[in-house]
Structure 1
C-alpha cells in the first residue's frame, strides 16, 4: 500500500526513453546510461539565456502534443524534457539550444508531422551519457554548478567525455513541488549526438 501511494505521489507516471544503466562504482557520484535509438520531437533556438530558450521551446513542443500537428491528434506528454546546449564561442556569444520531448512508444514508428516549421522530428542514434541527478526547482545557476560538479567527477575518474554539447534535463511539471528530478548529461567520448 505504502509503495503504491509513493508511486502516485513521487513518480511522474510518464513514458521515458529506454536505457540501461551500468552499476555504480564505489564513490561514483554519477550514473552511466546507454539510451536506445529513438525519435524525439525537437525545436532549436539561439540566445544568451538558457531558461528563456527552454520556456519558448517547451511552449512550441507543448502546442505540438496538444494537437498542432498534421494529424490533429493529442500526443501524450513524456519525460524527460531535454535541452541540448552548444555553448557560444565566448562570454557574449549566443548559444544554441535544442529542446526535445521523447516521442511516446505508440508514435515512435510514425510520429505525427508538426505544423510548426520550427518543430522537427529528431532521430537520435543509441548513445551513452554520464548523468548527474539533483533536486529542487532548477535554474541556470544550478545547471551550471551541477555541470561543473559532473565534469570535475569525470576528470577525477580519468573518464573520456565530450565537453560540448551537453544536456540539461528535467522530469517534472512546474506544478510538482516536492521530490523534483533534474539532471545534467555529458556524452561519452565517440558518442557525439
Structure 2
C-alpha cells in the first residue's frame, strides 16, 4: 500500500456474487435512489417541482445524517438530486469487476470469498474526522460532488458499487487510525480517460491488480464493528499471515448513513 494508503491493491465486488466475472445481482441490497425516498410520504410526481424534490431529498439526508453527528450542507441538494434521478434503477449502477478464485463455506454458510481484481482508476479522498462514520459520510459527500458534474467534463459520471474505505490499524488490530480514505471506482466508460475533479483533495489513482479475501456483514460500520469483523475474517482464513495485517478495506453497497448497510471486510493478499 502506497502513499499512506490512498493507493492499494484492489477494487470491489459484491456481497452475494454468483458470477465468475463480477456481474452480480443486487436484489437484496438497499438502493441509493430508494434510501432517500423511503418513509417520506406520497407526493404527486407530476406537480412536484425540481426545487421541491431537491429540498425533500436534502431534508431526508440531513435527518438521517444527524444520527451520525454529520451535517449535510445546503449545497449537497443538487448532487443528491442528480444521483437519485440518474440512478433510478439497479441496472444503472456498475459493479466493480472481479474474478472469483475460491469460496469457503461451512454448514452452507459462506465464510469468505477469494477474488482477483485488475488494475483500475479510482477517485480517492482521505478524510480525518472524530469518528469513522463521520469520515466516511463527509468523504462520500465530496465524492458525490465529483460524480455529479463537479469534474472536468461537467457530466454525471455514473454510480459504481461498492464505495470502499481504506483503514489502518495497529499491529494487534485493536485501534483504527483516524485517517480514512474513501474511494470510488471509475465506471468503464471513464477508465481510459478519467475526468479530473474540481476538488483538489480528490486524487485519481491507478490501483494495481490485487487478490483479496472478503467476508460480508450487515449493519452500521463504526470502529467497534470493523475491528470485530477484522477478527472474524482472520479466524476463518487458512493462512491469515499471507495478508497485509495493518491495512484493510470496508466495502459498502448502501448509503453510508443507512442503518442496515450491506458491507464487506476485505483483506489484501501480500504481493
User: For this structure pair, what is the TM-score category when the shorter chain's length is used for normalisation?
Assistant: 0.7 to 0.9
2:28 aligned partner: 10
Encode CA deviations 1:135-193: one digit per residue, 9 max, x unaligned: 23444332221111012222xx2341111210111012368787x52001011122xxx
Distance 1:63 1:26, change over 3 A: closer
Give the TM-score of the pair, scaled to structure 2: 0.60
Which of 130, 141, 151 is equivalent to 1:69? 151
Counterpart CA distance in 2 for 1:8 and 1:125 is 26
Task: Specify every segment of 5 or more residues in structure 1 that has no aligned partner in the other structure, as ranges.
Answer: 1-6
Q: Please say if residues 167 and 176 of structure 2, whose CA atoms lie closer than 8 Å, have aligned partners that are also in contact.
A: no
Counterpart CA distance in 2 for 1:21 and 1:142 is 26
Is 1:20 the counterpart of 2:99? The answer is yes
Which of 147, 154, 167 is equivalent to 2:230? 147
Distance 1:75 1:171, change over 3 A: same
1:188 aligned partner: 269
Q: Please say if residues 37 and 126 of structure 1, whose CA atoms lie closer than 8 Å, have aligned partners that are also in contact.
A: yes
1:3 aligned partner: none
1:39 aligned partner: 121
- Give the structure with the higher percent helix: 2
Counterpart CA distance in 2 for 1:172 and 1:24 is 24
SS in 2 for 1:114: coil
- Give the Å deviation of 1:24: 1.8
Runs of 4+ in structure 1 off by over 4 angstroms are: 88-94, 174-178
Is 1:165 the counterpart of 2:247? The answer is yes
Q: Please say if residues 133 and 221 of structure 2, whose CA atoms lie closer than 8 Å, have aligned partners that are also in contact.
A: no
Which of 191, 197, 210 is equivalent to 1:108? 191
- Give the structure with the higher percent strand: 1
Q: Please say if residues 83 and 167 of structure 1, whose CA atoms lie closer than 8 Å, have aligned partners that are also in contact.
A: yes
Could you say what the CA RMSD is over the residues aligned between the two structures, in angstroms?
A: 2.7
Give the TM-score of the pair, scaled to structure 1: 0.82
User: Higher Cα Rg: structure 1 or 2?
Assistant: 2
1:129 aligned partner: 212
Deviates more, 1:118-127 or 1:159-168: 159-168
Counterpart CA distance in 2 for 1:40 and 1:57 is 14
- Give the Å deviation of 1:9: 4.6
Distance 1:187 1:9, change over 3 A: closer
SS in 1 for 2:94: coil
Alignment: residue pair count:
181
SS in 2 for 1:147: helix
